[in-house]
Amino acid sequence: MSERVLVGAGVGTGVSIASAFIYRTDRYVPWDSEALGSTRGLIAIKAALADVAQEIDKARESTDEESADILDALKLVLEDESLMENIKVRLADGANSQRAVIGAFKSAAQVLAQLGDYFAERSNDIIELGERVIDKLNGKQDSVWPSEPFVLVADNLGPLEMVKLQSSSIVGLVTSLGSPTSHTSILARGMNLPTVVSVSGAEFIQAGDQLIVDSSSGQVFVKPDEIEIAQYVNAVADIAQEVVDVQALELPVKLYANLGSSSEGAAALSFGAQGVGLFRTELLFLGEKVAPSLETQVLEYSRLLDQFPNQVVIVRVLDLDTDKPLPFLKLTETGKYANRGFQALLANPEALITQLTALSLASQKHPEAKLWVMAPMVSNAEQAVQFVEMAKKLGLETVGVMIEVPEVCEPEVLEQIVNVVDFLSIGTNDLTQYTLNQDRLGSTQALSMVREPEVLELIRRVTEFATKAGKPIGICGEAASDFESAKLFIEYGVSSLSLSPALIPGLARELSS
């Protein structure tokens, strides 16, 4: 079992397995400080600008069209006369060359930042450009990258740092900041570099840790175990050979995708996903200082639904965890499951109502997709009733709950739950750890433990109750991707398995042979 599975937004379709190389970007944090010292003046600045422009030209030679456009835009900034004028004014006012450069790039960036979201993101590129000019002024040497294949782990990377990595042995990229629509992400896609951005907990990764970067599901496995490595080694081979045509195979169940961001939809489709079995919505919330607005959420859910016409898309409302507390959400009193999943949402009804409303609005915009909504970590029948009532009142038609704790697998509880929900989904990661009293922090992937008899009995029973009541029942924990476990779940009667898109072709091949 991996030491940890981190989640972010996946960029591209690939998977990579290699050691982590931690890269601390030289941010000129004192962009506002008085501490910078070079006094070499305009000639040195012009030479530095020309050096960066030359680097851009060189990078442009070996890149795709979309990346070339990004580089051209950066070069235009360097050549912009108003930038040079701004630098000159600052020098004339007595600024040293570094401060003049910083000031001029910063004001160019501010113009963009004021235009809002999309442009604000682009304004970071201008800041990075200024930083590269200062590197040149300071005579800073280029970074030395490892000669062995490596996964670069950084807070954020600018487009220029990205292009310099093109000639290195980089095989994957993990950043704690950034977004899937940034220029860096576009360049990563152009380089076919498996990338996960906006990864919460990336600081947990140590230099040299083995990582699996699964850009199709936005997951980063830290110190994966043998089963996970074997699965992903197969996935890498499948991707390279493009041999498995999932749609052409006869499969005993639907194979759905587990996603953490709408940016992963394209990958899911390319791997043959027949819908989305688990859309984790945490990414919208994690790392934020204020709750994501209704509009932000409608946009993200709409982007997701738009990619899956006529297919089932199961979105899970926020699964808050105590190891990821959020400043804008209240914690409840301590106690079993108190600050997880649905119970945590019950303590924050506004957040839940906003999320359900956003889902309902997105669904109205995309009636062609079959949106199903479910609550995580429901721990008794009353909660299931409560969630279904709330969601339906807000216009959601197909509402279900996750089965993740043993308390809801008791026959009398199950009986009530199956009568009220439209579908069930078993989260084997949590169900395994709570049934066997394992600590999730040490073992996120309950891949082999899921086959402990106690756990299997619960999964069998839940499947039996759901099937008898005529309700769809799926498995969306990591165990769904493990062939031996998947066979058992199918025997019990599940109607879908949901897994990382990159693992769908491999499982489909095994299930159909």
The Cα-based distances of 359 to 195, 263, 288, 341 in angstroms read 27, 17, 20, 17
Cβ-based nearer residue to ligand PEP, 339 or 429: 429
Residues 476-495 that bind ligand PEP (CB under 6 A): 476-477
Choose, by CB under 6 A, the member of 55, 404, 422, 482 that binds ligand PEP.
404
- Please name which of 365, 362, 360, 334 lies closest in space to residue 347, comparing C-alpha atoms: 334
* Part in contact with ligand PEP (CB under 6 A); list of ranges 37-45, 421-429, 459-467, 501-509: 421-429
Cβ-based nearer residue to ligand PEP, 161 or 404: 404
As measured in angstroms, the least distance from the Cβ of 502 to ligand PEP is 16
Contact residues toward Mg ion (CB under 5 A) are 404, 427, 430
Cα(447)–Cα(477) distance, integer angstroms: 9
Cβ-based nearer residue to Mg ion, 238 or 404: 404
As measured in angstroms, the least distance from the Cβ of 144 to ligand PEP is 38
Instruction: Write out the DSSP string of 97-129.
Output: HHHHHHHHHHHHHHHHHTT-HHHHHHHHHHHHH
Give the amino acid at 399: V
- Please name which of 417, 414, 475 lies closest in space to residue 446, comparing C-alpha atoms: 475
Q: Which of ligand PEP, Mg ion, none is residue 280 near (CB under 5 to 8 Å by kind)? A: ligand PEP
Cα(232)–Cα(211) distance, integer angstroms: 11
Cβ-based nearer residue to ligand PEP, 179 or 481: 481
Write down the residue that tokens 């995309």 correspond to: 366
Q: Which of Mg ion, ligand PEP, none is residue 121 near (CB under 5 to 8 Å by kind)? A: none
Write down the residue that tokens 């006869």 correspond to: 250
Is 366 a catalytic site residue?
no
Choose, by CB under 6 A, the member of 55, 422, 430, 482 that binds ligand PEP.
430
Q: Which of ligand PEP, Mg ion, none is residue 75 near (CB under 5 to 8 Å by kind)? A: none
* Selected catalytic residue, list 164, 183, 316, 366: 183
Residues 70-109 that bind ligand PEP (CB under 6 A): none
As measured in angstroms, the least distance from the Cβ of 321 to Mg ion is 9
Cβ-based nearer residue to ligand PEP, 23 or 337: 337
As measured in angstroms, the least distance from the Cβ of 325 to Mg ion is 17
Q: Does residue 260 interact with ligand PEP by CB under 6 A?
A: no
Alpha-helical segments (H) within 114-192: 117-137, 159-164, 183-190
Cα(6)–Cα(448) distance, integer angstroms: 20
* Selected catalytic residue, list 390, 476, 479, 502: 476
Choose, by CB under 6 A, the member of 280, 366, 370, 471 that binds ligand PEP.
280
Cα(43)–Cα(84) distance, integer angstroms: 12
Contact predicate 53/79, CB 8 Å: yes
What values do phi and psi take at 6, rounded to 5?
-100, 150
Q: Does residue 264 interact with ligand PEP by CB under 6 A?
A: no
- Please name which of 60, 62, 75 lies closest in space to residue 132, comparing C-alpha atoms: 75
* Part in contact with ligand PEP (CB under 6 A); list of ranges 10-18, 163-171, 179-187, 427-435: 427-435
Q: Which of Mg ion, ligand PEP, none is residue 278 near (CB under 5 to 8 Å by kind)? A: ligand PEP
Cα(142)–Cα(366) distance, integer angstroms: 48
Cα(408)–Cα(493) distance, integer angstroms: 19
Q: Does residue 428 interact with ligand PEP by CB under 6 A?
A: yes
- Please name which of 223, 214, 219 lies closest in space to residue 200, comparing C-alpha atoms: 219
- 203: which 2 tokens? 């600081």
As measured in angstroms, the least distance from the Cβ of 387 to ligand PEP is 16
Strand partners, 497: 255, 475
Cβ-based nearer residue to ligand PEP, 158 or 277: 277
* Part in contact with ligand PEP (CB under 6 A); list of ranges 15-23, 34-42, 167-175, 428-436: 428-436
Choose, by CB under 6 A, the member of 87, 174, 193, 278 that binds ligand PEP.
278
DSSP letter, residue 323 = T
As measured in angstroms, the least distance from the Cβ of 106 to ligand PEP is 40
* Strands, sheet with 9-11, edge to edge from the N-terminal-most edge strand: 4-7, 219-222, 210-214, 15-23, 150-154, 170-175, 195-197, 9-11
Is 183 a catalytic site residue?
yes
Cβ-based nearer residue to ligand PEP, 373 or 476: 476
Q: Which of Mg ion, ligand PEP, none is residue 3 near (CB under 5 to 8 Å by kind)? A: none
Q: Does residue 429 interact with ligand PEP by CB under 6 A?
A: yes
Cα(248)–Cα(505) distance, integer angstroms: 11
- 171: which 2 tokens? 């095989």
SS (H, E, C) 43-80: HHHHHHHHHHHHHHHHHHHCCCHHHHHHHHHHHHHHHC
Q: Which of ligand PEP, Mg ion, none is residue 428 near (CB under 5 to 8 Å by kind)? A: ligand PEP
Choose, by CB under 6 A, the member of 319, 379, 405, 435 that binds ligand PEP.
319
As measured in angstroms, the least distance from the Cβ of 229 to ligand PEP is 19
Chain residues that interact with ligand PEP, rule: CB under 6 A: 278, 280, 319, 404, 427-430, 476-477
Active site residues: 183, 476
